[in-house]
Amino acid sequence: MRMIFLSRILAVFALIFTSVLSAKDAEPSNGETKEGIKAEIDAYIEHHLQDSHDFNLYSYTNDAGEKVHVGFPLPVILWDDGLKVFSSSKFHHGETVAEVDGNYYVLHHAKIYKTNAAGDLTYDEAHHPTNAKPLDLSITKSVFMMIITGLLLLWLFGSLARSYAKHGAIPKGLGRLFEPIVLYVRDDIAIANIGEKKYKRYMPFLLTVFFFIWFLNMFGLTPLGVNVTGNIAVTTALAILVFLLTNFTGTKDYWKHIFDPLGDGMPWYGKAIIYIILVPIEILGIFIKPFALLIRLYANMTAGHVVLMSLIGLIFIFKSWIGGPLSFGLSFAISLIEVLVALLQAYIFTMLAALYFGFASEEHEHDHDHDEAELAHS
């Protein structure tokens, strides 16, 4: 616990340090108002929450007045009358036009548009670009972190499996730390919600999604500036996987409950009016459940990042010996809470997924009694 506490202190210091460097341009001149500083902070928070085509750790303005970005480019993969692959360094953080095979592309608010050599964009009444957008299959910052997290999980649990095989089902090293968590997911999430008979078929997914979300959430609390689980596209993809597993593994009792919730105890003409209301609600519930999963994870992680970055931004607004330390103290407290939230959101997502799997795989007891009766009669 002492090491975790010290690591959080260092992480908050590093986050504030990178924020100071990145927001150096936000420091007001003699005539700049607090409203101008707030606008700069809002723009910085929005940039932090967005995905990007390069991995930018921080930026600062050197003595010559030039803005220097510290990070590394990522591959841009476009489908535009053929495959176009090039480095995101051609965009120079959205400041220049990229020319590839005679085509010109510009980066605008983390999206790539086709343009001309001058980089001109046309806008509609809502000030949205109307230029054509190629199909973007790029390795963005979020995709890069998901690949890193996936490789980390493969290495971690591959080592855990080898440790089990080598030491007779006794974990060594990091296995001692993660074995209780694996057992908790199995005993208190999977078995408790799905049952001992069918939980094993869902365990690979439940373990993967739990550690995947947890690790991504923890990466989001580091000064790397990643916000993967705060990306609604990522949470939507995870929710779609839960939706597909739930409905493709559902038993006949699961589907019968949706389309025949009252059972066989009432004639059809007596149930007709009720079914006009109940069946659409049950069908709608199939889609509401995964939607609740994706919104809950997305909203909670995004809100945590917004609050933390806003508190850090208060340092530049107050600029006093009272406001600065107060903002730092609040930022540190919220950062510690976010450590708990990162684990809690992974737990909630996994728990609800297991609950939906349990509903889908449920078999009514009368079916078992009927089978046993037929067996005894034969």
Domain ranges of the chain: 75-138, 143-370
Q: What is the pLDDT of residue 29?
A: 43
Q: Which amino acid is at 126?
A: A
Q: Are 338 and 197 in contact (CB under 8 A)?
A: no
Indicate whether 134 pLDDT > 50: yes
Task: Give CA–CA dist 300/303, Å, rounded.
Answer: 5
Mean pLDDT of 275-280: 81
Q: Which residue has the tokens 């916000």?
A: 227
Q: Which candidate, 142, 147, 114, places its Cα nearest to that of 130? A: 114
pLDDT confidence bin for 119, thresholds 50/70/90:
confident
Amino acid at residue number 63: D
Share of the chain above pLDDT 90, in %: 34
Could you tell me if 179 and 190 are in contact, meaning their C-beta atoms sit under 8 angstroms apart?
no
CA distances from 118 to 84, 99, 103, 132 (A): 20, 11, 12, 16
For the record, the structure tokens of 86 come out as 């090039």
- Give the span between the Cα atoms of 183 and 242, in whole angstroms: 21
| pLDDT on residue 157 | 86
| Strand bridging mode 67-73 / 135-136 | unpaired
| pLDDT for 30 beyond 60 | no
Could you give the maximum distance between any two Cα atoms of the chain, in Å? 95
Give the Cβ contact number of residue 370 at 10 Å: 11
Q: At residue 57, does pLDDT exceed 50?
A: yes
Whether 27 has a pLDDT exceeding 50, the answer reads: no
Q: Is the per-residue pLDDT at 11 higher than 70?
A: no
> Per-residue pLDDT for 194 more than 90?
yes
Instruction: Of 145-154, 291-300, 331-340, 365-374, give the lowest mean pLDDT range.
Output: 365-374
The pLDDT assigned to 377 comes to 45
Res 197 pLDDT > 80: yes
Q: Tokens at residue 80, please?
A: 């535009």
Q: Of residues 261 and 120, which shows the higher confidence score?
A: 120
36 phi and psi angles, rounded to 5 deg: -65, -40
Banded model confidence at residue 289, pLDDT cuts 50, 70, 90:
very high
Which band of pLDDT confidence, cut at 50, 70 and 90, is reported for residue 266?
Answer: low
Q: Check residue 31 and give its pLDDT.
A: 47
- The reported pLDDT for the residue numbered 304 is 87
368, amino acid identity? H
pLDDT(370) > 60:
no
pLDDT (mean) for 330-349 = 90
Cβ-contact 348, 49 below 8 angstroms: no
Which amino acid, one-letter code, is at 146?
A: M
Helical axes 268-318 vs 232-248, angle rounded to 10°: 160
Instruction: For the chain, give the mean pLDDT.
Output: 81
Mean pLDDT confidence for 25-38: 57
Full-model pTM: 0.81
Q: How many CB atoms lie within 10 A of CB 378?
A: 5
At 127, the pLDDT band (50, 70, 90 cuts) reads: confident
Q: For residue 115, which amino acid is it?
A: T
Residue 74 tokens, joined: 């990522």
